[in-house]
Amino acid sequence: MITAVLAGFGLGLSLIVAIGAQNMFVLRQGIRREHVLAVAAVCAASDAVLIVVGVSGLGLAIQAAPWLVEVVRWAGFAFLLGYAALAARRALRPTGATLAVAPEPDATRRRSTRPAQLTAAGTRLAPVLATCLALTWLNPHVYLDTVFLLGSVASTQGDLRWWFAGGAATASVVWFFGLAIGARYLGRWLATPRAWRILDGVIAVVMVSIAVSLVIP
């Protein structure tokens, strides 16, 4: 049992730690302190649902409908390009959002290690979650990794396949909450508009490269 759980955890973690659209979004929300726990929960829950689908064998039904994969592929391509355009626009025409470190009340104390706070107005929860869901469910790689690959490997575990699935789902929870919460400590390096422009520029490049990879093998 423990072996199956650890195998699922290891494989699940190895599939999600790579730089991708979903991870970049979680990282950005973590740095901005915007709905961090909600975003991490949505990502982890989505992974868990897809893992269950794969382990239960429903992935075979999707394999029987290759046209569905193509629909998701091109929808993801269009969405990622749109998101990249928004990031590029923020990089070229910054809104002035910065992170400011809260000063220590007593000047004689050591400099506070408290995470920086976002000074610009935050984004509402609904648009953030909608973007998070789109980046997750419109990404064909998510289906290939969770439904097909994890489902196929889980089938080799026999009666322990659900323990394997539990390990993989746990890896998603650990990764997304760790990434979202840990990202806030990058705030000290993002205390200027220029730093945010660089971050958004990197996000735009990553999104475009992922979008292209979806349609060009």
Q: Per the structure block, which two tokens stand in for 55?
A: 């382990």
More reliable by pLDDT, 90 or 59:
90
CA–CA dist 136, 190 (Å, integer): 26
The answer to whether residues 11 and 166 touch, using CB atoms and an 8 Å cutoff, is no
> Residues of the chain with pLDDT > 70: what percent?
76
Would the pLDDT of 52 be above 60? yes
Task: Work out the pLDDT band at 64, boundaries 50, 70, 90.
Answer: low
**What confidence tens digit (pLDDT) does each residue in 128-152 have?**
999 999 888 888 778 877 877 777 7
Mean pLDDT of 181-198: 74
More reliable by pLDDT, 108 or 70:
70
| pLDDT value of residue 106 | 45
End-to-end CA distance of the chain: 37
Measured from the Cβ of residue 213, the count of other Cβ atoms closer than 10 Å reads 14
Measured from the Cβ of residue 32, the count of other Cβ atoms closer than 10 Å reads 22
CA–CA dist 19, 160 (Å, integer): 30
| pLDDT value of residue 217 | 64
| pLDDT value of residue 160 | 85
CA–CA dist 112, 106 (Å, integer): 10
128 backbone dihedrals φ, ψ, rounded to 5° = -65, -45
Q: If you compute the radius of gyration of the chain from its CA atoms, what whole number of angstroms results? A: 19
**What confidence tens digit (pLDDT) does each residue in 90-133 have?**
788 765 554 444 343 444 444 444 444 444 445 788 999 999 99
Indicate the average pLDDT of the chain: 76
Would the pLDDT of 70 be above 90? no
Q: Which long-range contacts (CB under 8 A, 24 or more apart) does 1-4 make?
A: 1/160, 1/163, 4/157, 4/160, 4/161, 4/163, 4/164, 4/167
| pLDDT value of residue 174 | 93
Task: Work out the pLDDT band at 159, boundaries 50, 70, 90.
Answer: confident
pTM of the complete model: 0.68
CA angle 27, 209, 147 (to 5 degrees): 70
**What confidence tens digit (pLDDT) does each residue in 6-45 have?**
888 887 887 787 667 788 888 888 888 889 999 999 999 9
String of DSSP letters for 65-85: -HHHHHHHHHHHHHHHHHHHH
| pLDDT value of residue 72 | 67
Would the pLDDT of 74 be above 90? no
